[in-house]
Structure 1
Amino acid sequence: MIRPTLRCVLLTAAGAPPALLLGVIAPQLWFLGMIWMPLVLALAALDALLAARAPALRVECPGAIEIGAPLIVDVHLRSKPIAGLELALAAGPRLAPRAEGRIRLARGENQASIAFIAVRRGTERIEAVWSRWTGPFGLIWRQRIEALDRRVVIAPDIRPVRSSAHVLLRDAQAGEMARVDRGEGSEFEALSEWRSGMERRTIDWNHSARHLKLLARENRIERNNQIVFAIDTGRVMCEPIEGLPRVDRAITAALLGAYAALKLGDRVALFGFDSQPRVSSGTVSGVRAFPLMQRLAGELDYSTAETNYTLALATLAGDLTRRSLVVIFTEFTDPTGAELMIRAAANLLRGHLVLFVILADDELEELAGAEPAAIDDVSRAVIAASMLRERRLVTARLRHAGIHVLEAPHREMGAALVRQYLDFKRRNLL
């Protein structure tokens, strides 16, 4: 495919003013003004004939990527480098190009890297690679489209699991073989001689009086607790926060919490819902079950439906056969939906420990606290402040009902969730 460059268009248009001026000054020579356009067209045709042949390209692309992570696609030239060669990739909407999405090779280069950002989970295709280059005069573009049909699987983000899970669990695990199960739990492990630095509340006074020396109780951290991660995938949770949907931020935090629970010997389940329950897994245990949790989290689809808390939490309560920690990732905007959510959560609270996890909305905070420069800024600030006020009222009502609420920025959500879970274990609330 051949197209004129901007230089060719401007050069063609540049002949119009002299031709018009010639027609006014010397009307009998008007035909000389018609010579310019055929001359430019002839040069463009010559430029097309002298342009380099289409390059042979080889594209290397990863088969899987995590949402929010950069996807780097390498394009190699298997033929002679072409000066000024431009490359671009045609990809689906789940892959957002960084910068312009088009790269220009410098003289002598035979490799280029084109970066995308994965913004939605699922399977996406890189459909084609576009290449174009100019002739020696720079008057025409020669363009080629080569079909690729490379598939890229966009999975939930588990980078926090790889990078920070062991650091977060370091304080919860003793780390020494002799103390692997001992901690601040509720199950009795053994008696040991009390030493300076140990808490006085661990002293067993009856056995100390019998043996005529201070003895302390060492407890075992209780295991085999059941934790359910319930993720709302409704319309509000699919709204983006700093480029990624809230539900994907929630999935990342839930997977980090699930890994921590599996690592500490607890049982984990996943529950997804919007207008009705969508995903309901059984409880699993052991770190080897984490890939299953990751796969089930990847099956949570984006939804445009309103969340039905009554149906979802009632179904979840019916599926639970023992006391569990239910971690609910959700977002609320209207008072009516929040009222139904509170009632459904209160019913769930009768037999379980309930924790609501809410992403802090930095955008609303900025709008409410920004200094107004125009009347529209005042309107935005008033609306944002009203939404924040309603949000705080709902949070206060949840806490008043005995429900735990965790609110943190998305960057800190996973770590905050793990710390909250460990705090529940230390306080023997599970």
Structure 2
Amino acid sequence: MIQFFKSLYFNPRFFISIGVFAVLFLVSYWLTPIYAYVWLLALAFLLLTLADVVLLFKQNSLNAERILPDKFSNSDLNSVKIELQNQASVKINVELIEEIPVQFQKRDFIKRVSIPPKKKISTSYGLRPVERGEYIFGNLNAYVSSPINLIKRRYTFNKDQMVKVFPSFIQMKKYDFLAIDNRISQIGLKKIRRIGHTMEFEQIKEYIQGDDIRTINWKATAKHQGIMVNQYQDEKSQPIYSIIDTSRVMKMPFDELKLVDYAINSTLAFSNIALKKKDKVGMLSFSHKIGNYLPASSKMTQLQLILNQLYNIDTKFLDSDFGLLYAHLKRKITQRSLLMLYTNFEHISSLQRQLPYLKAISKKHVLVVIFFKNTELEKFSEEQPENLATIYEQTIAIQFKNDKYFMAKELEKHGIQTILTAPKDLSINTINKYLEIKARGLL
């Protein structure tokens, strides 16, 4: 009986009807002839309510299931599917109230559907997580009404389901084609002109504008009407490391996603491309001490190992120790490698403190320093000023923006490759830089 009352709820139509009867009884005080008819209507309403109760509670009229994917992709829209089956012989209306994980801070979820008798339907909704970790779903609450629509019965399903949020594997798959088809081009993907070549011969093809004239095959040209050139493959099995700074400078959020999460998503997408290109891939995280370290390898299981390492990375509140990073690289990575360093500098003085260590690392390896534009400041600097104080603030914002470009030039002056990018363009710019370095034969 207690469970019955816990599951019983009243629809707005019930309370509206009660209000109407109250008014009718009040009016019947002066119009006494209608008093008996009002009682008859009230009795009919009571019988109708009891019929609605019997219709909803004589059997379980609804079966529902929340279907979650194996894992969520961070910063991407993930679909959650709900399957509903009407087990009654009449049409039912269902209000779904989902207890979404607390990380989303979303407490107004409601979805309404109608299900024909003995039919099964499915509905879905999307969630965009911005933090890695475990997400717990509460009850899937379903409030079922019959065509009478006076009362409703509550059902609960799938309590405490858990799903893990991993670095963006959707973004990784998005750029996966770059490793298998060199002919595809799209906005944001640069076509890199090949400067040099290795000694790994691939095929003879017709000359097109931009090919190195030193690769002309004169014997093949003599046998054909057009000029023929030798085509060479990129060098393979080169060690490549993604190095992620997890200090406080990477805690800054853009579009609700921290810089360290942008770096993690980019690392996964970039590592996938490099593995498909037959290179060895590894990763390293550091702040005031060395964090996760995975030696470079080209094994098929390496991408899963990288994903597991990236899942547990989080930012610290301390400054990063680039001297410690230099010592660790000197001791652990002895072969010349491509190092993609994800960090951030907001002021020239912060770069100057770390520049000696970056120069020392670049002498032994091909170092690419990746840091971020402050897109919020850039957006603010382009707004129309409203008063003198805003003009002053915009001048400072422009100075900060120009400092970023100056820092990039300063790094390039010392022979260090740089990527200065907006956070949302990080993955594609990182992949472009990798393809450029491979094409130019810098490694």
Same fold per superposition (TM over 0.5): yes
Give the aligned residue type for 1:104: R
Question: Residues 17, 381 of structure 1: CA spacing in aligned structure 2 closer, same or farther, 3 A cutoff?
Answer: farther
2:136 aligned to 125, 128, 138, which one?
A: 125
Is 1:101 matched up with 2:114? no
Is 1:116 matched up with 2:126? yes
Determine the structure 2 residue equivalent to 1:303: 315
Question: Residues 113, 323 of structure 1: CA spacing in aligned structure 2 closer, same or farther, 3 A cutoff?
Answer: same
Determine the structure 2 residue equivalent to 1:211: none
**Cα deviation, residue 240, structure 1:** 3.2
**Cα deviation, residue 204, structure 1:** 9.9
1:58 aligned to 54, 57, 65, which one?
A: 65
Is 1:358 matched up with 2:371? yes
Judge conservation of contact 2:178–2:273 (CA < 8 Å) in 1.
no
Judge conservation of contact 1:191–1:215 (CA < 8 Å) in 2.
no
Q: How does 1:25-424 map to 2 (within 5 A)?
A: 49=53, 52-53=56-57, 55-67=62-74, 68-80=76-88, 83-94=92-103, 100-106=108-114, 108=116, 111-119=121-129, 120-133=131-144, 142-167=153-178, 170-171=181-182, 185-189=196-200, 199-202=212-215, 221-300=234-313, 302-314=314-326, 315-373=328-386, 381-382=394-395, 384-424=397-437
Distance 2:22 2:108 in 1: 34
* Matched position secondary structure for 1:308: coil
**Cα deviation, residue 143, structure 1:** 3.9
**Cα deviation, residue 243, structure 1:** 3.7
Give the aligned residue type for 2:322: T
Question: Residues 387, 137 of structure 1: CA spacing in aligned structure 2 closer, same or farther, 3 A cutoff?
Answer: farther
Normalization by structure 2: what TM-score? 0.72
**Cα deviation, residue 343, structure 1:** 3.5
Give the aligned residue type for 2:310: A
Distance 1:231 1:356 in 2: 10
**Cα deviation, residue 269, structure 1:** 1.0
Normalization by structure 1: what TM-score? 0.74
Question: Residues 78, 96 of structure 1: CA spacing in aligned structure 2 closer, same or farther, 3 A cutoff?
Answer: farther
**Cα deviation, residue 154, structure 1:** 1.8
**Cα deviation, residue 329, structure 1:** 1.3
Judge conservation of contact 2:92–2:146 (CA < 8 Å) in 1.
no
**Cα deviation, residue 286, structure 1:** 4.2
Judge conservation of contact 1:134–1:141 (CA < 8 Å) in 2.
yes
Judge conservation of contact 2:240–2:282 (CA < 8 Å) in 1.
yes
* Matched position secondary structure for 1:393: helix
**Cα deviation, residue 388, structure 1:** 2.0
Question: Residues 17, 425 of structure 1: CA spacing in aligned structure 2 closer, same or farther, 3 A cutoff?
Answer: same
* Matched position secondary structure for 1:77: strand
Question: Residues 327, 126 of structure 1: CA spacing in aligned structure 2 closer, same or farther, 3 A cutoff?
Answer: same
C-alpha deviations, 1:251-276, integer Å up to 9, x for none? 22222222222222321110112332
C-alpha deviations, 1:36-93, integer Å up to 9, x for none? xxx9xx98x9589568336432332222222213222213135337644211222324
For structure 2, list consecutive stretches of 5 or more residues without a partner in the other structure. 1-5, 28-41, 185-193, 219-226
**Cα deviation, residue 370, structure 1:** 1.3
Give the aligned residue type for 2:56: A
Distance 2:282 2:254 in 1: 26
Determine the structure 2 residue equivalent to 1:177: none
Judge conservation of contact 1:64–1:152 (CA < 8 Å) in 2.
yes
For structure 1, list consecutive stretches of 5 or more residues without a partner in the other structure. 23-38, 174-182, 206-213
Q: Structure 1 vs Structure 2: percent identity of aligned residues? A: 18
Judge conservation of contact 2:66–2:80 (CA < 8 Å) in 1.
no
- Size of the aligned set, in residue pairs, is 397
Question: Residues 355, 93 of structure 1: CA spacing in aligned structure 2 closer, same or farther, 3 A cutoff?
Answer: farther
C-alpha deviations, 1:368-387, integer Å up to 9, x for none? 10123477865764554343
Question: Residues 416, 140 of structure 1: CA spacing in aligned structure 2 closer, same or farther, 3 A cutoff?
Answer: same
Question: Residues 95, 118 of structure 1: CA spacing in aligned structure 2 closer, same or farther, 3 A cutoff?
Answer: farther
